[in-house]
Amino acid sequence: MAMVVATIGTVAISVAPASASVSQGYVAGSGTWTDDWGDEGPISASTRSYSNVVAMWQTILKAEGYLAASGVDCRFGPATTAATKRWQRDRGLVSDGVVGPKTFAKAATRLRLYEGERWFYYDGLGTNFAYFGRRADGRWDIPAGPDLEWGMLSYTSANLSVCS
């Protein structure tokens, strides 16, 4: 693991494990970024169903071709649930429509560090990407909306311009 982290040139070199951050209110981690998403969630139609984290997940579904751009609205509704189940099934996960640690961890395997910076891209289908940032304090953010303004990946707020 340390060799992989060193090879990709991550900014954070500590080997401290990620800490669950749902209770902190944000997608976050400490130490290496490669394990930050493995303790996130759950989000679903019935749990934290309207938030910036839902927009994050919808952006990943969009990058993979499971959800239209118009489906990124911060609401975990029927279209997001169906797309999530298909995404999970196609990756050998339990297809329950709940985005928890296993689903987030599987998605994290598609994250790539952008040239030693503190921002990342999710390598989706073909040339589709989703972009993310990780602040020095370990909290993640996302560019969203027509002007691509950056917003924190909060479990308790739906304040990105794409949130309707």
33: confidence class by pLDDT, cuts 50, 70, 90: confident
Instruction: Give residue 45's pLDDT.
Output: 98
What is the pTM for the complete model shown?
0.84
What integer is the mean pLDDT of 50-59? 96
Residue 146 backbone phi and psi in degrees, to 5:
-65, -30
Greater confidence (5 vs 98) lies with: 98
pLDDT at 4 over 50: no
Bridge partner residues of 152 (DSSP): 141
pLDDT at 61 over 70: yes
Instruction: Report how far residue 95's alpha carbon sits from residue 4's, in angstroms, rounded to the nearest whole number.
Output: 30
The share of the chain scoring above pLDDT 90, in percent, equals: 57
Question: Which two three-digit tokens encode residue 86?
Answer: 């298909």
**How is 124-156 classified by DSSP, letter by letter?**
-STT-EEEEEE-TTSBEEEEETTTTEEEE-BSS
DSSP H/E element including 7:
helix 2-8
**Start-to-end C-alpha separation, the chain:** 40
Instruction: Give residue 68's pLDDT.
Output: 95
What's the length of the chain?
Answer: 164
Instruction: Give residue 103's pLDDT.
Output: 97
Instruction: Give residue 19's pLDDT.
Output: 47
Instruction: Report how far residue 134's alpha carbon sits from residue 118's, in angstroms, rounded to the nearest whole number.
Output: 6
What integer is the mean pLDDT of 136-147? 86
User: Torsion angle of alpha carbons 32, 34, 38, 42, nearest 10°?
Assistant: 100
Instruction: Report how far residue 55's alpha carbon sits from residue 49's, in angstroms, rounded to the nearest whole number.
Output: 10
21: confidence class by pLDDT, cuts 50, 70, 90: low
Instruction: Report how far residue 91's alpha carbon sits from residue 134's, in angstroms, rounded to the nearest whole number.
Output: 26
Per-residue pLDDT tens digits for 73-131 = 999 999 999 999 999 999 999 999 999 999 999 999 999 988 766 788 899 988 888 99
Question: Which two three-digit tokens encode residue 60?
Answer: 């990943």
Alpha helices in 9-160 (DSSP H): 52-63, 78-90, 101-108
Question: Which two three-digit tokens encode residue 156?
Answer: 């308790």
Look up residue 75 and give its DSSP letter.
Answer: B
